[in-house]
């Protein structure tokens, strides 16, 4: 009997809690599906009376229900009063003008179809004959290169920011809704993300300076220097929108909404393996990867570049830029001068390069060889003259 009393008190407490709770229009809650008929879904919304939502909001493209009793769903309170509690997951094509006005006052999302591109933005079909306008700047969180190609003939969720003339002047924003969704996801991710973690995401945008990666509703940036160990000049040649990538979290700045990522740190460092096969003083054939004002970078192995300083180019002729004598993509035979493992730098010279010191040494040796040769010639000439004189004297005596 004591257990029964506890159960009764628990049920009574829950009943009191439901009686006292009051929902406001626009409030978003989690509700439990307690019943379904042909057109209506009944919800336990934590109040004394049940809430209702149209079953059409939970049907798939084939008209099949995607929920069943016991499931939890997220809904918005559209109307709460003596006449009952009406909820919506988001207002769709079946919504009336009155419901659209309720959605405007209550900040409830509405579903629309992007029908046409017009001056300044897009025409959005909402319900029946209702039409709305969404400016370009309010279509998404970031600007896209080809807005028409991205948005036309797609279904999207919007917030109504202006509702005038009985619904004949409706202005919409998808961005405000996306910003709120991102704020919620940001709070969730703050609890689980930390620097040094390896995460997986999909590429959401490609820019000349790096990749934006969606890591669960918010974007992180992979700077172009962190994409790989080798230099990448055109990211669009290697990556594509929607591609799944792994990255390491390098920095988290929640206040400024900055998440720095590195794909490079998930890849094996080619330096350690390659440098074992390279030796100072030996010649190798590499490919000129890029030119700079101060010299030419030569790729010796994937991810391993060395530098030929401009002073070593030109075969002794003074040049103002490496492009005067070499070009990117050209094969070049080089000799490794030095390998600095601490700073990960390799200094190179062309295989036919002769330094000033070597040139002076060469000239000194050539001069010494010349002098030695001259002295020998003189000795040989001296010996020859004495022999001829001696022979002449002997002939005279005869």
Alpha carbons 5 and 187: distance in angstroms, whole number: 41
Q: Is residue 67 part of a domain?
A: yes
The count of domains in the chain is 4
In the prediction, which pLDDT does 293 show? 93
The set of long-range contacts for 65-68, using a CB threshold of 8 Å and a minimum separation of 24, is 65/36, 67/33, 67/36, 67/41, 68/33, 68/36
- The pLDDT score that the predictor gives to residue 148 is 92
- Whether residue 19 is predicted with pLDDT greater than 80 in this model: the reply is no
What is the per-residue pLDDT for 16? 46
Give the C-alpha separation, 162 to 261, whole Å. 39
- Give residue 371's pLDDT: 64
- Residue 56 falls within a domain, yes or no? yes
Asked whether residue 168 falls in the same domain as residue 205, the answer is: no
Q: Is residue 45 part of a domain?
A: yes
Mean per-residue pLDDT, 357-375: 60
Per-residue pLDDT at 356 = 54
Domain that residue 113 falls in? 108-178
What pLDDT digit, counting tens, does each position of 228-270 carry?
887 787 898 889 999 999 999 999 998 888 999 999 999 888 8
The answer for residues whose C-beta is within 8 angstroms of residue 85's C-beta and 6 or more apart is: 23, 45, 47, 49, 50, 51, 52, 77, 79
pLDDT tens sequence across 189-233: 988 999 999 999 999 889 999 999 999 888 999 999 999 887 787
For the segment 380-398, what is each residue's pLDDT rounded down to a tens digit? 555 555 556 666 666 666 5
Long-range contacts of 185-188 (CB under 8 A, 24+ apart): 185/216, 185/217, 185/218, 186/217, 186/218, 186/254, 186/257, 188/216, 188/217
Supply the pLDDT for residue 137: 94
pLDDT tens, residue by residue, 163-190: 988 788 999 999 999 998 888 888 889 8
Q: What pLDDT shows up at residue 372?
A: 63
What are the residues whose beta carbons fall under 8 Å from the beta carbon of 230, sequence distance 6 or more? 270, 299, 302, 303
Answer yes or no: is 140 within a domain: yes
Q: What was the pLDDT predicted at 3?
A: 42
Q: What is the Cα–Cα distance from 7 to 12, expressed in whole angstroms?
A: 9
Same domain, 278 and 339: yes
The yes-or-no verdict on residue 8 having pLDDT over 50 is: no
Q: What is the DSSP string of 211-259?
A: EEEESSSSEEEEEGGGS-SS--S-GGGT--TT-EEEEEEEEEETTTTEE
Shared domain check, 138 and 209:
no
| Residue that finishes a domain, picked among 213, 233, 266 | 266
**pTM, 2 dp:** 0.55
The torsion defined by the Cα of 269, 275, 277 and 282, in degrees rounded to 10, comes to 150
Whole-angstrom CA distances from 200 to 34, 143, 245, 248, 259 are: 37, 24, 6, 9, 14
Rounded to 10 degrees, the C-alpha dihedral 307/312/313/315 comes to -150
- Look at residues 335, 350, 365 and tell me which one is the last residue of a structural domain: 350
How far is the C-alpha of 149 from the C-alpha of 335, rounded, in Å? 52
Residue 322 resides in a domain: yes
Above 70 in pLDDT, residue 362? no
Q: Is the pLDDT of residue 361 over 80?
A: no
Instruction: Please tell me the distance from the alpha carbon of residue 1 to that of residue 24, in angstroms, as a whole number.
Output: 40
**Do 262 and 278 belong to one domain?**
no
Residue 310 within any structural domain of the chain: yes
Summarize the confidence of residues 57-84 as an average pLDDT.
80
Q: Are residues 274 and 332 in the same domain?
A: yes
Residue with more model confidence, 294 or 84: 294
> Residue 123: inside a domain, yes or no?
yes
Q: Is residue 136 part of a domain?
A: yes
Q: Let me know whether 247 and 288 are in one domain.
A: no
Same domain, residue pair 259 and 274: no
Tens digit of pLDDT for each residue in 308-349? 999 899 877 888 999 999 999 999 999 999 998 888 899 999
From CA 369, how far away is CA 364, in angstroms rounded? Answer: 9
pLDDT in tens, 291-313: 999 999 999 988 889 999 998 99
CATH number of the domain bearing residue 211: 2.40.50.140
Residue pLDDT, tens place only, 125-159: 987 678 899 999 999 988 888 899 999 999 999 99
Closest CA to 305 of 336, 280, 326: 336
**pLDDT-derived band at 64, boundaries 50, 70, 90:** confident
Which of 15-24, 158-167, 371-380 is predicted with the least confidence, judged by mean pLDDT?
15-24
Q: Quote the pLDDT of residue 386.
A: 56
- Name the domain boundary from 250, 266, 282: 266
pLDDT at 214: 92
Q: Are residues 255 and 280 in the same domain?
A: no
Do 276 and 252 have their domain in common? no
């Amino acid at each position: 009997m004591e257990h029964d009393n506890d159960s009764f008190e628990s049920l009574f407490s829950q009943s009191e809690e439901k009686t006292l709770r009051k929902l406001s229009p626009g409030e978003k809650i989690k509700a439990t599906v307690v019943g379904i008929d042909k057109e209506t879904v009944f919800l336990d919304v934590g109040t004394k009376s049940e809430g209702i939502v149209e079953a059409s909001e939970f049907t798939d493209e084939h008209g099949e229900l995607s929920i069943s009793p016991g499931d939890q769903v997220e809904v918005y309170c559209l109307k709460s009063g003596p006449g009952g509690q009406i909820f919506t997951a988001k207002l769709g094509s079946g919504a009336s003008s009155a419901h659209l006005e309720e959605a405007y006052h209550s900040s409830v999302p509405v579903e629309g179809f992007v029908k046409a591109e017009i001056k300044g933005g897009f025409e959005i079909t909402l319900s029946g004959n209702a039409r709305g306008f969404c400016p370009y700047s309010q279509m998404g969180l970031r600007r896209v290169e080809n807005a028409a190609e991205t948005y036309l003939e797609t279904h999207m969720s919007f917030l109504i920011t202006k509702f005038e003339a009985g619904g004949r002047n409706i202005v919409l924003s998808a961005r405000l809704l996306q910003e709120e969704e991102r704020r919620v996801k940001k709070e969730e991710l703050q609890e689980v993300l930390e620097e040094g973690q390896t995460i997986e995401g999909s590429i959401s945008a490609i820019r000349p300076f790096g990749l934006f990666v969606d890591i669960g509703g918010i974007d992180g940036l992979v700077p172009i220097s962190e994409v790989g160990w080798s230099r990448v000049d055109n990211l669009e040649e290697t990556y594509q929108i929607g591609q799944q990538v792994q990255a390491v979290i390098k920095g988290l700045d929640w206040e400024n909404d900055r998440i720095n990522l590195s794909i490079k740190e998930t890849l094996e460092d080619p330096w350690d393996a390659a440098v074992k096969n390279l030796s100072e003083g030996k010649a190798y054939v590499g490919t000129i990867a890029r030119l700079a004002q101060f010299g030419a970078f030569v790729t010796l192995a994937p991810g391993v570049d060395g530098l030929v300083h401009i002073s070593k180019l030109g075969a002794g002729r003074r040049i103002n830029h490496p492009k005067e004598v070499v070009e990117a993509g050209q094969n070049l035979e080089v000799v490794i001068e030095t390998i600095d493992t601490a700073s990960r730098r390799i200094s190179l010279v062309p295989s036919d390069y002769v330094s000033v010191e070597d040139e002076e040494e060469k000239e000194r040796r050539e001069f010494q060889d010349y002098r030695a040769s001259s002295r020998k010639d003189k000795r040989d000439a001296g010996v020859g003259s004495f022999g001829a004189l001696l022979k002449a004297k002997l002939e005279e005596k005869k």
